[in-house]
Amino acid sequence: MKFCTSCLTPILAKDSDAIEVIKQEYIKDDVPWFVGFSGGKDSSALLKLLIIALSQLNKPHKLINVLYCDTGVENPIITTYVYSTINRLRVECNALNLPIIFEVAVPKLDDRFFVKVIGRGYPSPTNIFRWCTDKLRINPIKTIINKNSNAIILLGIRKGESEQRDRTITKHRTSTEYYLKQSGSNNRLIFSPIINHNIKDVWSTIKFNEFPYSIDHTILGALYKDAGSECPVYRELPGKSCGSSRFGCWVCTVVRKDKSISHMIENGYNELEELHKFRNWLAEFRDNVLYRCTQRRNGQNGLGPITIEGRKLILHKLTEAENISGLKLITDEELSRIKELWDIDLNNEKYIENII
């Protein structure tokens, strides 16, 4: 164990290595850096080390953009935590004159979960038909990053998460230890200063580096105890998607049972109960053939979109969940788009609910 001379808190040798490599890479050039931040443990550890590294530099010269994606269907407890952490980080970084800005990415209106399900009649996602991850999480971040063709993406990717994960890391590695090539991209680089951290190291990084104070080990640890793991913010490597991880959408029907919300309810987050009931109902409802068109949108016979009546029923159930929980679950903008989409279907002669 070494000691950080500037803040006198104990840090791991792996943290010292990561801080050094961040400093070396940062001062090397003017290539823009974007950090994918989900609020989860890995991106929190990464952000802590990045802020420590920058605060140790004399006049850090280039702007770093930290990106968080708010899908609109994030677990409300987690969203509250992440927004409050971002707000505190903003203040902390400003006070230190660090060139770090925080940006929240949102999906396009037509790509939002309820616009797709209630407006267009998409069945809620499954492992086989997982239409959501790109639309809700990957594209909003990609849209921002792609404006900078040479940008480097900083992500909290680690070796040792699983054998499959290690295989994909090996496949995408570069000649430089901390860099990986993005899947499907020839020149986009991913920089992960915590690639050698194991899960225990990550928690130690968050716990023992008190600074920056805005990322609070106790609060984050408690959320993990209650909820589980997380959902990716950037399509960094193949093989990792959020279907099996639970620091994500409250409405996710990709997993059979949503254990994270159940755990949170057991731990006293009663306001999530109605959301949990709605999610379970939706997971069953998507397979109810009575509310599915018998023709697909491409004109072929087969299980098609959810009928208008079915979509109205989902909206009714969602509104009920909203009223009982007291949580805002859908925006007015989404509601008016949904109604427009119903009208478009009802006035489209090619939209057929039942082939007689």
Rounded to 5°, the CA angle 64-235-112 comes to 95
- The smaller minimum CB distance to ligand SF4, of residues 33 and 250, is found at 250
> Got the DSSP string for 327-349?
---S-HHHHHHHHHHHHHHHT-T
Q: Nearer Cβ to ligand SF4, position 40 or 212?
A: 40
Asked if 249 interacts with ligand SF4 (CB under 6 A), we say: yes
Q: Measure the CA–CA gap between 113 and 272, rounded to whole angstroms.
A: 18
- Report the residue number, 119 or 243, with the smaller CB distance to ligand SF4: 243
- One-letter identity of residue 317: K
Q: Which stretch binds ligand SF4 (CB under 6 A): 38-46, 174-182, 242-250, 345-353?
A: 242-250
**CA dihedral for 335, 143, 228, 77, sign (positive or negative):** negative
- Sole residue written with tokens 């109902």: 281
The one among 45, 54, 242, 272 contacting ligand SF4 by CB under 6 A: 242
CB of 166 to ligand SF4, least distance (A): 23
Q: What is the DSSP letter of 173?
A: B
Task: Compute CA 71 distance to the chain's CA centroid, rounded to the nearest angstrom.
Answer: 8
Near ligand SF4 by CB under 6 A: residue from 248, 304, 305, 310: 248
Output the smallest distance, CB 274 to ligand SF4, in A.
18
Cβ proximity to ligand SF4, 138 vs 195, nearer residue: 138
Quick count: other Cβ atoms within 10 Å of Cβ 198?
A: 14
Residue in 39, 60, 107, 125 binding ligand SF4, rule: CB under 6 A: 125
The amino acid present at 153, given as its one-letter code, is: I
Residue 227 interacts with ligand SF4 (CB under 6 A)? no
| Tokens encoding 101 | 């800005």
* Residue 254 binding ligand SF4, by CB under 6 A: yes
Which of 231, 318, 321, 329 contacts ligand SF4 by CB under 6 A? 231
CB atoms < 10 A from the CB of 147, how many?
Answer: 8
Return all residues near 156 (Cβ < 8 A) that are at least 6 apart.
36, 40, 41, 42, 43, 44, 45, 46, 192, 194, 202
Task: List CB contacts of 200: < 8 A, sequence separation 6 or more.
Answer: none
Letters for 46-85 (x = contact with ligand SF4 by CB under 6 A, - = none) are: ----------------------------------------
Are 78 and 223 in contact by the 8 Å Cβ rule? The answer is yes
Number of residues that bind ligand SF4 (CB under 6 A): 13
Select from 47, 115, 252, 275 the one that contacts ligand SF4 (CB under 6 A). 252
- Take residue 280 and report the two structure tokens written for it: 């379970």
What is the phi/psi pair of residue 3, to 5°? Answer: -120, 135
Stretch of 173-181, 249-257, 273-281, 306-314 lying at the interface with ligand SF4 (CB under 6 A)? 249-257
- Using the minimum distance from each CB to ligand SF4, give the nearer residue, 159 or 277: 277
Q: Which of 11, 51, 66, 136 is in the footprint of ligand SF4 by CB under 6 A?
A: 136
Interacting span for ligand SF4 (CB under 6 A) from 130-138, 153-161, 256-264, 308-316: 130-138
What kind and span of H or E run contains 2? Answer: strand 2-3
Stretch that binds ligand SF4, among 129-137, 144-152, 189-197, 202-210 (CB under 6 A): 129-137
- DSSP alpha helix (H) spans, 60-192: 76-95, 113-114, 132-133, 139-145, 163-172
The counts of H helices and E strands in the chain are: 13, 8
Can you read off the two tokens belonging to residue 247?
A: 């620091």
Residue 243 lies near ligand SF4 (rule: CB under 6 A): yes
Q: Could you tell me which stretch among 20-28, 41-49, 243-251, 327-335 binds ligand SF4 (CB under 6 A)?
A: 243-251
By CB under 6 A, tell whether 261 contacts ligand SF4. Answer: no
Q: Measured from the CB of residue 63, what is the shortest distance to ligand SF4 in angstroms?
A: 29
Residues that bind ligand SF4 (CB under 6 A): 125, 130, 132-133, 136-137, 231, 242-243, 248-249, 252, 254
